[in-house]
């Protein structure tokens, strides 16, 4: 690891990582991106465990990737970070003073019902972190193959809840559910039993002060 330089930060721009496809060969990765240095700027990254290949849909954890992005360096800033379909957490962030401006992710489609019991999330900030900010953190789910229920989509230390602005959870489709958006905040997202629709969206909006927990939540069905 390298401490980096605030006056001359490193930059990673327009990076696309893919685990699986387009051919039928089996591939794997432990982590798609590891950032161990400090003062790094991430600009427009899409880290994708493929949900389909040339032969069709990916099922049963094939082409495994455990973690999308693991960020242990301090003072890392991400602009437009997108991470999809890793088999555990999509992002694990343990560096100090991290900031993310626009995050989009999808939980894996093909995991079993026990996925929810493991506590995996789309965006995780380690309990040891003192400072972190997130703006527009969005986690989507489409549990296609099994009825998966996750407790929450974004997991951060309690004292950082007020540092997250406009977090959103989205049920795109499928037979699973998320009970909350950010820790224990935000309503459940799942398809209605009687009238399946396009998507179910739940927001946790920003608080009135940096020291207070988010105090507004809304549910929109579209």
b/e per residue 171-182 (b: at least 16 CB within 10 A): bbbbebbbbbbb
The DSSP string of 111-156 is --GGGGGGT--SEEE-TT-S-EEEEEEEEEEEE-SS--EEEEEEE-
* DSSP 8-state assignment for residue 187: -
Catalytic positions are 106
What is residue 167's three-state secondary structure? strand
The upper half-sphere exposure of residue 6, i.e. CA atoms within 13 Å in the direction of its Cβ, equals 3
Spatial separation of the C-alpha atoms in residues 71 and 79, rounded to whole Å: 14
Distance CA 135, CA 74 (A): 18
Cβ–Cβ contacts within 10 Å for residue 11, how many? Answer: 10
From residue 66, how far is each of 75, 87, 88 by CA, in Å?
Answer: 24, 5, 5
């Amino acid at each position: 690891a390298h401490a980096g330089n605030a006056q001359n930060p490193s930059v990673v721009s327009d990076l696309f990582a893919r685990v699986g496809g387009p051919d039928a060969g089996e591939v794997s990765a432990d982590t798609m991106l590891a950032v161990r240095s400090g003062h790094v700027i991430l600009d427009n990254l899409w880290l994708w465990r493929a949900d389909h290949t040339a032969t069709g849909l990916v099922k049963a954890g094939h082409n495994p990737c455990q973690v999308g992005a693991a960020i242990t360096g301090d003072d890392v800033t991400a602009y437009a970070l997108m991470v999809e379909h890793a088999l555990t957490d999509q992002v694990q962030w343990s560096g100090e003073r991290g900031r993310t401006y626009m995050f989009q992710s999808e939980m894996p489609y093909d995991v079993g019902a026990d996925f929810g019991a493991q506590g995996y999330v789309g965006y995780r900030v380690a309990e040891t972190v003192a400072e972190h900010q997130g703006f527009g953190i969005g986690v989507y789910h489409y549990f296609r193959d099994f009825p998966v229920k996750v407790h929450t989509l974004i997991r951060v230390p309690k004292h950082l809840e007020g540092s997250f602005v406009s977090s959103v959870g989205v049920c795109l489709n499928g037979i699973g559910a998320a009970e909350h958006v950010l820790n224990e905040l935000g309503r459940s997202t799942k398809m209605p039993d009687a009238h399946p629709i396009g998507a179910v969206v739940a927001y946790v909006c920003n608080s009135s002060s940096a020291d207070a927990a988010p105090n507004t939540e809304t549910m929109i069905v579209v």
